């Protein structure tokens, strides 16, 4: 990753889950207020029970009859206070002579009937056949609901054990179902034209598309297509978008799932989900399975003991079996996975027959960045003269997501300033804000501090101008504080550099030392503001000595890493002396160059104090220096 801003600072620093056949049916069921499931069934039983209880209470409150015991009933009959009685079994309801209603329980005895007849009580006997009391009804309905609930649990448990069906698994009985979302070809709008840049990655993935479209072209000669493709790249470089483009180009079903979706606290669930996922994919073959962040489930086995490690390893074992096991068929199912940690993946996962093709998705180069910017500025009102190529030059090391964020931040900045369109100034502000932080407008500095900062940054900028053939072109220099930096000098690379010469590395060292040298030359003092510059310079020189073979110690590689060549303490002393010697030599050369151009240094610093920010075109004209020519790029 290449730095475009030399921080020469003065301080220390809604998807829809679609399943074959019954999609519309499931969609309608999902709209019902009581969707099927044990939880909803229990809620329904509870609500029904509460309703029955309320009804029984209301019935008790609405009754106009009094309950009396058997002795009181006999006394009222003998006192000729009972007008009529209706008997059903042992339950009796009647009316008193004063019009009040009552109810009681009478035993099976002849005395009761004789007493009623003796006192001329109008008696009616009702048969119990065909009658169903309220509580009998309640018990019957409760029993039916309980039986239905038990039957539903047994059926769901059997389905879960057999691994059938699909879906996201929203309850305990469908926990073994795959959580993958399936997208039909009609719902996938992306294709390779939707992906800007990544030409090499798209070329690799075209083989997958060709096989899914016309497998007979490969099978006629006995060739076997790659079963798995592993996309490797840093976050934001477009791995997921590439997989969607493959699915769109191949015009086949696309199953998407994250590696973490396989793992649960219950042992065996992950393996069950893997089986269910491949079962669905084979049913819809030819199809694509995309496993994002596969390192969540595909890490080296044996790295832990017990608990979640066992579950993860069982899931990984099942994935290995499904991809290339004893019972693996010749289904046209391609597995594409993505990760930014290929170093932690199990070796069995990467062997031929499984993920035997690795496609690198690097950070976009200069041409790709310009193409990506063209995609993201669609729909945004921008200045017609906006130099996209210049923006692309100023963003090496930016991923596709970073560039999308850059465009969005520029649009937000223009909207906040109530502009009619997004200009280059908005992109400059957005880039600086993303890389260094927001401008610190409330910082209070003394005139002495401001002057020291101006000469410090002028030293960096002037050294860049004095080394035109081996340094990146100067873009701008400012003393406006941003983030932790009191000032900074921007260099704008002409192109993406893949190798650097010794002279270019030493030029970077001299530019880093220019700030401190300028302070010492003008004020004859040293401040803490150059610490980050020294750190950068030391890092470059140490790499030259230990890794690049660019010193008097020869071409050996010196490293303290266990995986590389180690060195003794005596060699360490030699390395330290060599690093210090190179730094001292370059410090002296930088001091000499700035001293010979002291008039330019003073003029540049004074202009910085006056205007705070200067662009390269203004500096070239002010110092009467010929502007640099654009670098000739050779493609291919």
Does residue 316 contact residue 350 with C-beta atoms inside 8 Å?
Answer: no
Alpha helices in 467-597 (DSSP H): 502-523, 531-546, 569-596
Distance, in Å, from the CA atom of 314 to the CA atom of 302, rounded to the nearest integer, reads: 11
Catalytic residue among 429, 457, 519, 607: 457
Tokens standing for residue 245: 């483009």
Residue 407: other Cβ atoms inside 10 A: 22
| Dihedral sign for Cα atoms in the order 153, 155, 159, 165 | negative
Q: What is the DSSP-derived secondary structure letter of residue 422?
A: B
Alpha helices in 417-530 (DSSP H): 424-436, 447-466, 502-523
* Length, in residues, of the chain: 636
Distance, in Å, from the CA atom of 623 to the CA atom of 78, rounded to the nearest integer, reads: 132
Q: Which residue has the tokens 């998705």?
A: 361
Main-chain phi, psi angles of 356, to 5 degrees: -95, 5
Does residue 180 contact residue 258 with C-beta atoms inside 8 Å?
Answer: no
Q: What is the DSSP-derived secondary structure letter of residue 295?
A: G
| Dihedral sign for Cα atoms in the order 600, 601, 602, 605 | positive
Cis peptide bond N-terminal to 89, omega within 30: no
216 is catalytic: no
Distance, in Å, from the CA atom of 237 to the CA atom of 564, rounded to the nearest integer, reads: 30
Residue 219: other Cβ atoms inside 10 A: 13
| β-sheet bridge partners, residue 292 | 258, 338
Q: Which among 368, 422, 356, 415 has a CA at the least distance from the CA of 395?
A: 368
Does residue 265 contact residue 315 with C-beta atoms inside 8 Å?
Answer: no
Q: What is the DSSP-derived secondary structure letter of residue 342?
A: G
Does residue 504 contact residue 542 with C-beta atoms inside 8 Å?
Answer: no
**Chain centroid to CA 269: how far?**
23
| β-sheet bridge partners, residue 104 | 92
Q: Which residue has the tokens 């396989």?
A: 262
Kindly list the catalytic residues. Answer: 457
């Amino acid at each position: 990753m290449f730095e475009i801003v030399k921080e020469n600072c003065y301080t220390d620093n809604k998807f829809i889950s679609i399943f074959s056949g019954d999609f519309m049916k499931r969609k309608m069921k999902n709209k019902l207020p009581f969707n099927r499931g044990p939880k909803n069934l229990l809620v329904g039983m509870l609500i029904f029970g509460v309703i029955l209880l309320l009804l029984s209470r209301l019935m008790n409150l609405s009754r106009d009859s009094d309950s009396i015991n058997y002795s009181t009933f006999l006394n009222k009959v003998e006192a000729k206070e009972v007008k009529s009685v209706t008997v059903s079994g042992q339950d009796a309801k009647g009316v008193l002579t004063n019009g009040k209603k009552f109810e009681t329980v009478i035993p099976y005895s002849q005395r009761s009937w004789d007493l009623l007849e003796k006192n001329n009580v109008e008696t009616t006997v009702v048969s119990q056949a065909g009658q169903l009391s309220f509580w009998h009804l309640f018990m019957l309905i409760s029993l039916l609901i309980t039986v239905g609930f038990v039957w539903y649990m047994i059926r769901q448990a059997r389905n879960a054990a057999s691994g059938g069906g699909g879906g996201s698994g929203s309850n305990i009985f469908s926990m073994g179902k795959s959580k993958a979302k399936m997208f039909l070809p009609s719902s996938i709008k992306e294709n390779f034209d939707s992906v800007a840049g990544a030409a090499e990655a798209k070329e690799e993935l075209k083989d997958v598309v060709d096989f899914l479209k016309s497998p007979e072209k490969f099978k006629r000669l006995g060739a076997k297509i790659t079963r798995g493709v592993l996309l490797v790249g840093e976050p934001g470089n477009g791995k997921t978008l590439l997989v969607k483009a493959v699915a769109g180009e191949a015009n086949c079903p696309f199953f998407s799932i994250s590696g973490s979706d396989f793992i649960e606290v219950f042992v065996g669930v992950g393996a069950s989900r893997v089986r269910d996922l491949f079962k669905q994919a084979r049913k819809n073959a030819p199809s694509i399975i995309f496993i994002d962040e596969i390192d969540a489930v595909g890490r080296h086995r044996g790295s832990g003991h017990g608990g979640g490690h066992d579950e993860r390893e069982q899931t990984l074992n099942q994935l290995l079996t499904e991809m290339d096991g004893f019972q693996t068929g010749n289904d046209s199912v391609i597995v594409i996975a993505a990760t930014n940690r290929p170093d932690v993946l199990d070796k069995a996962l990467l062997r031929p027959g499984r993920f035997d093709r690795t496609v690198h998705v690097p950070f976009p180069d200069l041409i790709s960045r310009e193409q990506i910017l063209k995609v993201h500025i669609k729909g945004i009102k921008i200045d017609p003269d906006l130099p996209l190529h210049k923006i692309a030059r100023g963003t090496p090391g930016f991923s596709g997501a970073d560039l999308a964020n850059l465009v969005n931040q520029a649009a937000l900045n223009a909207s906040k300033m109530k502009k009619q369109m997004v200009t280059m100034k908005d992109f400059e502000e957005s880039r600086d804000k993303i890389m260094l932080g927001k401008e610190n407008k409330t910082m209070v500095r003394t005139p002495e501090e401001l002057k020291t900062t101006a000469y410090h940054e002028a030293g960096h900028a002037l050294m860049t101008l004095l080394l035109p053939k081996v340094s990146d072109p100067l873009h701008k220099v400012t003393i406006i504080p941003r983030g932790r930096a009191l000032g900074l000098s921007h260099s704008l690379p002409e192109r993406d550099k893949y190798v650097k010469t010794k002279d270019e590395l030493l030029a970077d060292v001299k530019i880093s030392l220019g700030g401190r040298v300028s302070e010492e030359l003008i004020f004859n003092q040293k401040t803490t503001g150059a610490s980050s510059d020294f750190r950068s310079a030391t890092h470059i020189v140490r790499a030259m000595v230990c890794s690049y073979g660019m010193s008097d110690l020869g071409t050996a590689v010196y490293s303290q890493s266990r995986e590389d060549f180690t060195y003794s303490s005596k060699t360490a002393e030699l390395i330290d002396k060599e690093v210090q010697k190179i730094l001292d030599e370059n410090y002296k050369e930088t001091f000499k160059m700035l001293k010979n151009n002291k008039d330019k240094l003073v003029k540049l610093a004074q202009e910085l104090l006056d205007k705070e920010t200067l662009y390269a075109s203004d500096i070239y004209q002010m110092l009467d220096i010929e502007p640099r020519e654009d670098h000739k790029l050779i493609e291919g």
